[in-house]
Amino acid sequence: MFSSEPVLTLDNADIFQGQKLVLGDVSFQVHKGEFVYLIGRTGSGKSSLLKTLYADLWLQHGKGQVAGFTLNALKPRDVPQLRRKIGIVFQDFQLFFDRSVEDNLKFVLKATGWKDKTSMNNRIADVLMQVGLGTAQKKMPHQLSGGEQQRVVIARAMLNEPQILIADEPTGNLDPAVSDQIMKVFQAINNAGTAILMATHNYDLLHKYPARVLRCQDGQVIELKG
């Protein structure tokens, strides 16, 4: 089980897109090592909520804490540090297609302050192993399947050992067998202690890999009782 330490707390938070209130009075916590699904219809506010957590949208009303950062008091200069403490995985892979897997990962390490070559190589080997791609280091993204590319994206999100992984429709473009592989990778990461908050439309996954569920509905976030 997970410890009682929250890695994410929202307290009466209002989530806006521009002037539009998307979700009002949102309060919930995610604890260290927890796995939480975020569900809801198209346009219900899942992506807006996740964007607020990694400061792509500012939290203007209410309080929020993520990985030790206070969202409601965040300065633009804090954003890169915040994003180092959370791993972010999107539906679109966003890998550099003109660079090898290794160079894609090295780019992020260098951008986040890593300098020592051996440490970087070791960390890259570790995260690729973690997602079951131990031999893909020198490959170019186009030589990998969609599922493998998504696993590289997950490996990239794990580089700086985030306390929480935030995933927005990570299996959205993938067929069921490949989605299963991705879920197994998430489960392994989660079992090793990283909290995961995952927005999905894929209700099959909820049945197959049961966990806590939050639903965006009618401008609110509701806890579904299991």
Ligand X SMILES: Nc1ncnc2c1ncn2[C@@H]1O[C@H](COP(=O)(O)OP(=O)(O)OP(=O)(O)O)[C@@H](O)[C@H]1O
Q: Which is nearer to ligand X, 44 or 160 (CB)?
A: 44
Pick the closer one to ligand X by CB: 7 or 216: 216
> Distance between CA atoms of 77 and 107, rounded to whole angstroms?
20
Task: Restricting to residues 106-125, name those near ligand X by CB under 6 A.
Answer: none
What phi, psi does 215 have (nearest 5°)?
-120, 130
**Residue 217 binds to ligand X (criterion: CB under 6 A):** no
Residues in contact with ligand X, counted by CB under 6 A, come to a total of 13
- Give the separation between CA 212 and CA 223, rounded to whole angstroms: 8
Residue 194 makes CB contacts below 8 A (sequence gap 6+) with: 33, 87, 158, 161, 162, 163, 164, 165
Cβ proximity to ligand X: between 40 and 141 the closer is 40
Q: Which amino acid is at 14?
A: D
Please say which residue, 3 or 94, places its beta carbon nearer to ligand X: 94
47 binds ligand X (CB under 6 A): yes
> Which phi and psi angles does 141 have, rounded to 5°?
-50, -40
17 interacts with ligand X by CB under 6 A: yes
Work out whether 40 is an interface residue with ligand X (CB under 6 A): yes
Q: Does 46 bind ligand X (CB under 6 A)?
A: yes
What are 74's two structure tokens?
Answer: 């965040």
* Whether 104 contacts 94, CB under 8 Å: no
Report d(CA 32, CA 164) in Å as an integer.
8
**Which of the stretches 16-24, 99-107, 119-127, 159-167 binds ligand X when contact is defined by CB under 6 A?**
16-24
- Binding to ligand X by residue 170, rule CB under 6 A? no
- Min CB(108)–ligand X separation in Å: 25
Which residues are near ligand X by CB under 6 A? Answer: 17-18, 20, 22, 40, 42-48, 216
